[in-house]
Amino acid sequence: MVVGRRASRMVVVAVALGALIGGCTDARPPVASPAPTGSPTTTPTPMSSAAPPSTPDPATPPTRPAAMAEPSAEGAAAAAGYFMSLYAYANATGELSEWDTMSAPGCTFCAGVREDVESRRTAGLRNIGEVHVRSAAGTEVDAGRWYSARLHVVIGESEDVKDDGSIVEVHPPEDHEIDVVMTWTDASWIVDEVGPASGPTT
């Protein structure tokens, strides 16, 4: 969770996310536009039911919420929250298999996180810090296919730590409203992009 890199990446991702939201193609729909068959369905999702719990031990693999099993606004909120739990887990452990499983090939944010994790791993470092999903609301864009979720995410103070336990650098906490664009395919969630919230925030 390197703050300088992350801030720069968020600007790049904002452009990519804007392309997804503002332009309709066969591959990805505009997140803010209604589905052809009706208006998007937005479901505010309490932490207790769909979004995963915060990660007091980021080195422990997060548990998939049951709500992720269905293509719905609630499922999208749960999947987005789970993905952010994987963010903390990947940074703390260097384990990227589940992160990669949920990441679309063209996801700029997903690839950037992978690059940061691998760079630290090569340097013999891990980044230890908690991620708290304060709220999550899913939106159905095209039933059974395309969804988005608005998350309020708080990233606690984190530390770059060597294998011997010594601390190399401390990063300050961050507070973000983010949008997560997702596709439901083959009975699973794929994250197409993550970026700063594109409209009014909670």
* Tens of pLDDT, residues 166-177: 999 999 999 999
87: three-class secondary structure by DSSP: helix
Torsion of CA 75, 80, 85, 88, to 10 degrees: 170
Q: What share of the chain is helix, strand, coil (3-state, %, to 5)?
A: 35, 30, 35
188: three-class secondary structure by DSSP: strand
Joined together, the tokens standing for residue 62 give 């997060």
Looking at the DSSP bridge assignments, the partners of residue 146 are 142, 183
Buried b (16+ CB within 10 A) or exposed e, 168-191: eeebeebebbbbbbbbbeeeebbb
Q: Where are the alpha helices (DSSP H) in 23-154?
A: 73-93, 97-102, 108-122
d(CA 89, CA 40): 32
Phi first, then psi: give them for residue 6, nearest 5 degrees: -65, -40
Q: What is the pLDDT along the chain (202 residues), one digit of tens a residue?
A: 443 444 444 444 444 444 444 433 333 333 333 333 444 554 444 433 344 445 567 889 999 999 999 999 999 999 999 999 999 999 999 999 999 999 999 999 999 999 999 999 999 999 999 999 999 999 999 999 999 999 999 999 999 999 899 999 999 999 999 999 999 999 999 999 999 998 665 5
Q: What is the pLDDT of residues 55-73, one digit of tens each?
A: 567 889 999 999 999 999 9
pLDDT for the residue numbered 200: 63
User: Which residue is listed with tokens 């980021």?
Assistant: 58
d(CA 110, CA 54): 20
